[in-house]
Amino acid sequence: MTFSLAIVGRPNVGKSTLFNRFVGKRLALVDNQPGVTRDLREGEGRLGDLRFTVIDTAGLEEATDASLEGRMRKLTERAVDMADVCLFLIDARTGVTPTDELFADILRKRCDHVILAANKAEGSAADAGVIEAYSLGLGEPVRLSAEHGEGMNDIYTHLMPLADEFAKRAEAEAPETDVTLDEAEAEEDGVRRPTQDRPLQVAVVGRPNAGKSTLINKILGEDRLLTGPEAGITRDAISLKLDWDGLPVRIFDTAGMRKKARVQDKVEKLSVADGLRAVKFAEVVVVLLDAAIPFEQQDLRIADLAEREGRAVVLAVNKWDVETEKQEKLRDLREAFERLLPQLRGAPLVTVSAKTGQGLDRLRAAVEKAHDVWNRRVSTARLNRWLTGMLEAHPPPAPGGRRIKLRYMTQAKTRPPGFVVMCSHPEKLPDSYSRYLINGLREDFDMPGTPIRLHMRSQA
């Protein structure tokens, strides 16, 4: 995904229609279930050879009073802030309205790349409206018919050079994930802790009502997301860039692993896909649990998924403000964690209250630490000294009288840490021995909680 495109405009101008044209059947959530598209939604868009994220403010109702207008404005601003490019639609059949002018204002102030399109422009009935669109001061409007697919070439022509620009920029900003061994070796204690200037990618996942929106709102420090007692009010995944007390992060918020609520199967499947997408996007996954009902099946599934995808995981137990027997509860939680998620041994477990803000500083620290561990690199020299000690303390087995030899070890990658060991008969080495090494790495190089990959490579 090279860049993100927000489709903005007042209700009924054809945003959903265009969104669907970009996204196709891959995110078929545009039926008329009331309340399904209440917030922003996001999909993977395609146009010719271009691939991008499309953000849509679908589901805005026509503003009939000041509060609705305020909400419409807020959502639009949020979409605009998230996007690299804004595609601003007006209805060519209606012509320019005061609301369009309001939107044009927002865009001029907040978006560097605006493409103006006059939609519903098939046929001559739209000519006057297309001309009027010039008055918005956003350049020449694209004559578009989202419904009939006309004008998509012109959109492509506008997007293509921008896509190139964003691709180049992304390349320049791409973090150095693998360093040369020489570089790693130069580190004094043999453990490299790279710094990064890109925002740390965080996903907040969890069951409906766990408090994800409340948590993100609290971190944002303003009421930007919709929250409510209703399960799953933020139906679709969105991401927000923010400064979390000095830590630049990009938070991916998702309605997540929604079980049933009152929604149909179709929506359910989409949400699971969203959760997965959030996990794939993230460097650190915050699994938010409800203290009243922690470690439910869905929680376990998403935590396991995050581990298998190789993400750093932080468990946050929310609604801690309502717990009375805190000591006892914490003991139970830790016990359940060890028993139910052994694959995440050592991952931080933090208690928080999204509502009061209690524990959020600890959550922030845990996220930062988890990310640091996930990025850690140990020098080859240090690893091999360590390996010698491990082999002496507990030699590998000798099937048929011939001892399996582990000769040499190196860290092949970070994010998460991955190691390669040259081994005389890898197929004969029992899993328990690999686990012994992995647990040792965790302990001795201070890498709690992060997934560690260990590969045995054959070498006679």
Contact residues toward ligand GDP (CB under 6 A) are 9, 11-17, 58, 119-120, 122, 145-148, 206, 208-214, 227-229, 232-234, 318-319, 321-322, 353-355
User: Within 10 A of 376 (CB to CB), how many other CB atoms are there?
Assistant: 20
Q: Phi, psi (5° rounding) for residue 190?
A: 80, 5
Q: Shortest Cβ distance from residue 131 to ligand GDP (Å)?
A: 17
Q: Closest CB to ligand GDP among 208 and 417?
A: 208
What span, in angstroms and rounded, lies between the C-alpha atoms of 269 and 153?
33
Q: Of how many residues is the chain composed? A: 460
Q: Decide if 460 contacts 443 (C-beta within 8 A).
A: no
Q: Is 31 annotated as a binding residue?
A: no
Q: Shortest Cβ distance from residue 84 to ligand GDP (Å)?
A: 21
Q: Which residues pair with 455 in a beta bridge?
A: 420
- Give the CA angle between residues 205, 193, 172 to the nearest 5°: 75
Q: Closest CB to ligand GDP among 201 and 318?
A: 318
Q: Shortest Cβ distance from residue 375 to ligand GDP (Å)?
A: 28
Q: Is 59 annotated as a binding residue?
A: yes
Q: Closest CB to ligand GDP among 211 and 449?
A: 211
**404 contacts: CB under 8 Å, gap ≥ 6:** 396, 397, 398, 423, 424, 425, 428, 429
Q: Shortest Cβ distance from residue 450 to ligand GDP (Å)?
A: 25
Q: Shortest Cβ distance from residue 223 to ligand GDP (Å)?
A: 11
Q: Closest CB to ligand GDP among 76 and 353?
A: 353
Q: Shortest Cβ distance from residue 18 to ligand GDP (Å)?
A: 7
Q: Shortest Cβ distance from residue 39 to ligand GDP (Å)?
A: 10
Q: Is 153 annotated as a binding residue?
A: no
Q: Is 35 annotated as a binding residue?
A: no
Q: Is 25 annotated as a binding residue?
A: no
Residue 215 burial (C-beta neighbours within 10 Å; 0-12, 13-18, 19+): buried
Q: Is 73 annotated as a binding residue?
A: no
Q: Which residues pair with 406 in a beta bridge?
A: 423
Q: Closest CB to ligand GDP among 234 and 450?
A: 234
Q: Is 57 annotated as a binding residue?
A: yes
Comparing CA positions, the residue from 327, 333, 460 lying closest to residue 405 is: 460
Q: Is 259 annotated as a binding residue?
A: no
Q: Closest CB to ligand GDP among 10 and 376?
A: 10
DSSP string, 332-385: HHHHHHHHH-GGGTT--EEE--TTT-TTHHHHHHHHHHHHHHHT-EE-HHHHHH
- Give the CA angle between residues 18, 23, 29 to the nearest 5°: 90
Comparing CA positions, the residue from 200, 14, 39 lying closest to residue 100 is: 14
Q: Is 70 annotated as a binding residue?
A: no
- Alpha-helical regions (H) of 221-377: 265-281, 297-308, 326-340, 360-374
Q: Shortest Cβ distance from residue 52 to ligand GDP (Å)?
A: 18
Q: Closest CB to ligand GDP among 12 and 434?
A: 12
* 3-class secondary-structure state, position 44: strand
Q: Closest CB to ligand GDP among 120 and 377?
A: 120
What span, in angstroms and rounded, lies between the C-alpha atoms of 15 and 17?
5
Q: Is 83 annotated as a binding residue?
A: no
**Binding-site positions for GTP:** 9-16, 56-60, 119-122, 206-213, 253-257, 318-321
Binding site, residues?
A: 9-16, 56-60, 119-122, 206-213, 253-257, 318-321
